[in-house]
């Protein structure tokens, strides 16, 4: 009988320890979730240019809507020497981060985030098939090979337009920076 009592007592202690560990893990996950759900920025919705009812020559352009920040960092320059060059790409996963984000309209990360790279916001033109906005590194690399102009997936810098966006803080016809940040 004493042995059964001791075994039950030990099992209860083990269960309490396990329960405490689970509670701690749940608290940590809740904190991570709450941290991720905090608003990084507030700003202005933006998208591609609308050119009136003549849509027969419009196939796409970028299909996603952006949230541009209230405090943009602007530029009127993009990568030089990139015409008709083939661009490499990579999909990356870091073992040391749990979240990453591309922030349009910024060249620096918000507090608590680590800079992965900065660049320019680019996409296809509205006269081409639909695409998404992507952040192209501001120090681009090019692939050796095709230097002919086949008008494939052409990347164009995304620009700002006063009236659609408030100027200031934005400037008319400036390229939009972007930054990729992680935690």
> With 80 as the cut, is the pLDDT of residue 182 above it?
yes
Q: Given pLDDT bands bounded at 50, 70 and 90, which one contains residue 2?
A: low
Residues 6 or more apart from 70 whose CB is under 8 A from it?
A: 41, 42, 43, 44, 169
Burial class (CB in 10 A: 0-12, 13-18, 19+), 21: exposed
pLDDT at 171: 87
Averaged pLDDT, 32-54: 59
CB 85 within 8 Å of CB 148 = no
Residues 108-144 have pLDDT tens digits of 999 999 998 898 888 877 666 677 888 888 887 776 6
Residues 146-175 have pLDDT tens digits of 556 666 667 788 888 888 888 888 888 888
Strand ranges inside 10-145, DSSP E: 43-46, 61-62, 66-69, 74-75, 100-104, 114-123, 130-131, 134-137
pLDDT at 150: 65
Side-chain half-sphere CA neighbours of 179 within 13 A: 17
More confident residue, 137 or 68: 137
pLDDT at 108: 92
Residues 71-107 have pLDDT tens digits of 777 766 666 666 666 666 776 777 788 888 888 889 8
Q: Given pLDDT bands bounded at 50, 70 and 90, which one contains residue 21?
A: low
pLDDT at 166: 86
Helix (H, G, I), strand (E, B), or coil: what is residue 70? coil
pLDDT at 109: 92
């Amino acid at each position: 009988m004493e042995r059964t009592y001791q075994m039950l007592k030990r099992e209860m202690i083990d269960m309490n320890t396990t329960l405490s560990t689970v509670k701690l893990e749940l608290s940590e996950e809740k904190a991570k979730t709450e941290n991720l759900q905090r608003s990084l920025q507030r700003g202005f919705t933006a998208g591609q240019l609308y050119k009136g009812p003549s849509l027969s020559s419009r196939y796409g352009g970028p299909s996603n809507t952006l949230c541009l920040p209230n405090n943009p960092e602007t530029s009127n320059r993009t990568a030089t020497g990139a015409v008709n060059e083939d661009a490499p790409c990579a999909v990356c996963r870091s073992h040391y981060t749990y979240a990453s984000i591309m922030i349009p309209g910024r060249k620096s990360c918000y507090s608590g985030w680590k800079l992965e790279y900065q660049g320019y916001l680019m996409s296809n033109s509205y006269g081409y098939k639909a695409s998404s906005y992507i952040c192209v590194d501001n120090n681009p690399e090019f692939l050796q090979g095709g230097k002919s102009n086949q008008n494939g997936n052409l990347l164009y810098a995304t620009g700002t337009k006063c009236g659609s966006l408030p100027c200031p803080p934005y400037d008319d016809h400036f390229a939009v920076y972007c930054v990729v940040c992680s935690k």
